[in-house]
Amino acid sequence: MDLGLTSEQEMLQNSAREFLEKEAPRTVITDIDDSPTGFSPELWRKMAELGWAGLLVPEQYGGLGSDLLTTAVLHEELGHAAVNTPLHSSAVLSALALMAGGSESQKQQYLPAIASGERIVAFALTEPNYGWTPQHVQVTAQQQGAGYVLNGTKLFVPDAHVADNIIVLARTAQGNGSGDGLTLFIVDKAAPGVTVRDLGGFTAGRLCEVTFENAQVPQANVIGQPGRAWSIVEPVLDKATLIACAASVGGSQAVFEITQGYVTTRIQFGVPIGTFQRVQDHVIELVNALDTARWTTYEALWKADAAKPGVSEAVSVAKIASSEGFHTACNNAHRAHGGIGISKRYGLYLYTKASRTLYSYLGDPVYHRKRLVSLLGI
C-alpha cells in the first residue's frame, strides 16, 4: 500500500494552496461567510477556470478524468483554507451520480456545464425524518402523463440556493426497505412548485430546505431506471464521503497549525503557554485526532481507486475517524486558545462551524458504526 502522492498530485496540492492563500485568505472567507448568500461568484469563476470543477468528469465531457485521490488532494486544501463552495455538491456528488446512472443525452447536457462551472447542481438526499438509508426517503414522485409530479420536503441540502438544478432522490414505489422504489430526478430549481429556503444557523456553507408542491419533472430527467436508484446512489455516496473526509483532514491540519502558532508565541508568566503540560495535552489530543483521520481517509481512498476489497467498510471507518477527529481537533484548539478562539477576526470559528457541519454530512459516526457492523456481519 502506497499512500504517497504522485508528482502531479503534489503540483496540484501546491498550486491550490498558493491560489487559496492569495485569493481566499481567512479575511476574505470571513466576509463571504457573512454575506447574504455565503457564496462568491468571482471566486467560483476563478476556481472553475483552474479546472477544479472538472476534476472527476471524464475528458469526453470536458473534464480532466482524475481519480478520487487527486480530487481528495484538492478538497483537503479547500478544507485547510475553510473555503465553502458548491464543488462537492455539484462537481463530486451530482457529477458522480450523472456519470454512474445518467443517459448519454443527460451526460452530454449536464457534465460539460458542471465541469466548466457554468452550471451548479445540488444533491438532495436527506429529509425531516433525518437519515441516510432508503427508508428515510419519503418525498414522493407519482407518474403523471409524460413525466412525474414531486411532493414533499428535502432538508439540509447544501448549495441549493445557488444551484441551477437539483438532483432529487424520491420514492416512486413503497419498496421493501432495501432501496427498491427509489428514483433519481434532475429538477430545474426554477420550475413551478419548487421552493428553496436558506436555513441559516451555525453551519459551514448554506444548508437549505427544498419543498416540492406538485413540481413536474419530465421523463427525460429521470436518471437511470425508475425504482432502482439506490444501486446508483450507494456507491456514489461512498466516493463522495471520502472527498468530504479529505476536507475534514485539511481543516484539522489547519486547526493544528493555528494552535501550534498560538501556543508557541502566547506568553504567560514569562514563558510560552505551550510549555504548560495541560496545554500540551490539548495539542497532543489534537494531533492524535488529525493523524487518525488522515491515515484512515487516505487508506480508504487508495482502496477505492485500486478497487480493493472492503471499500465500503474503509469508507465508514474513515468517516467515523474524520468526523470525530475534526470535532475533537476544534474542541482542543479552543481549550488551548481560551477567549480569543471565539473572535471572528481570529478565524478559528470558521473551522469549528465546518467541523460541526461535516460531522453529520453523509452520515454521522453513529450511522457509520451501525453500517460497519452490518457490512462486517457482526
Average pLDDT of the chain, as a whole number: 96
Q: How far is CA 119 from CA 15, 42, 44, 49, 186, in A?
A: 24, 14, 11, 13, 13
Check residues 51 and 200 and name the one with the higher pLDDT.
51
Question: What integer is the mean pLDDT of 237-258?
Answer: 98
Closest CA to 199 of 152, 158, 151: 158
Question: Do 7-120 and 231-376 show the same overall fold?
Answer: no
Write down the pLDDT at residue 3: 74
Closest CA to 148 of 229, 93, 260, 69: 229
Contacts of 285 (CB under 8 A, 6+ apart): 328, 332
Domain boundaries, the chain: 7-120, 122-227, 231-376
pLDDT, tens digit, for every residue of 9-53?
999 999 999 999 999 999 999 999 999 999 999 999 999 999 999
Write down the pLDDT at residue 371: 97
- Rounded to two decimals, the pTM is 0.96
Write down the pLDDT at residue 345: 86
Q: How many residues are present in the chain?
A: 378
Domain 231-376: CATH architecture, name and number where available = Up-down Bundle (1.20)
> The CATH number of 122-227 is which of 3.40.50.300, 2.40.50.180, 3.40.50.10140, 2.40.110.10?
2.40.110.10
Whether the predicted pLDDT of 370 surpasses 90:
yes
pLDDT, tens digit, for every residue of 119-159?
999 999 999 999 999 999 999 999 999 899 999 999 999 99
Whether the predicted pLDDT of 261 surpasses 70:
yes
Whether the predicted pLDDT of 176 surpasses 70:
no
CA-to-CA distance for 111 and 311, rounded, in angstroms?
26
CATH of domain 7-120: 1.10.540.10
Write down the pLDDT at residue 177: 64
CA-to-CA distance for 117 and 147, rounded, in angstroms?
28
Closest CA to 39 of 240, 169, 208: 208
C-alpha angle 164/84/16, rounded to 5°?
Answer: 110
The model's confidence at residue 202, banded by pLDDT at 50, 70 and 90, is confident
CA-to-CA distance for 313 and 131, rounded, in angstroms?
19
Write down the pLDDT at residue 237: 98
CA-to-CA distance for 292 and 308, rounded, in angstroms?
21
Whether the predicted pLDDT of 211 surpasses 80:
yes
CA-to-CA distance for 190 and 119, rounded, in angstroms?
13
Whether the predicted pLDDT of 204 surpasses 70:
yes
